[in-house]
Amino acid sequence: MFSIDTNLLVYAHNKNSQYHRKAAAFLEEIMNERDEEGNVSVCLTAQVLMEFVNVITRQSLETPLSISEAIQVINDYLETGIKVVTQRETQIRTFLELLRSATTRKKVFDISLAATLKDHYISGLYTANAADFEEFDFLEVVNPLET
């Protein structure tokens, strides 16, 4: 299973982003893919959804979403039946294990995301920042904006 990173959600919902059309088309495509049981074939983490609200509502964006608009976007995703993955009790131990390889504090939230994915045996991540996750050999990282 693959998870979706924050940047793809932001690009897809920020109409002023140069990546808007491509990210929106990609998300529409994968949100319509279903497994054998009819479930959405990708997942989101609670962390990514929270990061999305933080970024998409920033006043530094040309046209930020309001909090209520961001809530509606998240509710729209939830209504698809997408699986939302939350931290497990093992999160802090996995996070600390992965943090040992960090050379900068700027990687903390990427490492937190990677720890959540590892704890849930999620093997793939769709992101526009593939280089940020290349050190995690348990993840297949794909930048769908490059294809």
Give the number of other Cβ atoms within 10 Å of residue 60's Cβ: 6
How confident is residue 106, by pLDDT bands cut at 50, 70 and 90? confident
Amino acid identity for residue 17 in this structure: S
Name the pTM for this structure.
0.92
What is the C-alpha separation between 140 and 66, in angstroms, rounded?
34
Q: Find the helix or strand (DSSP H, E) in which 3 lies.
A: strand 2-4
pLDDT digits (tens, 9 = 90+) for 19-43: 999 999 999 999 999 888 888 999 9
* Domains within the chain, CATH numbers bracketed: 2-142 (3.40.50.1010)
Amino acid identity for residue 45 in this structure: T
How confident is residue 103, by pLDDT bands cut at 50, 70 and 90? confident
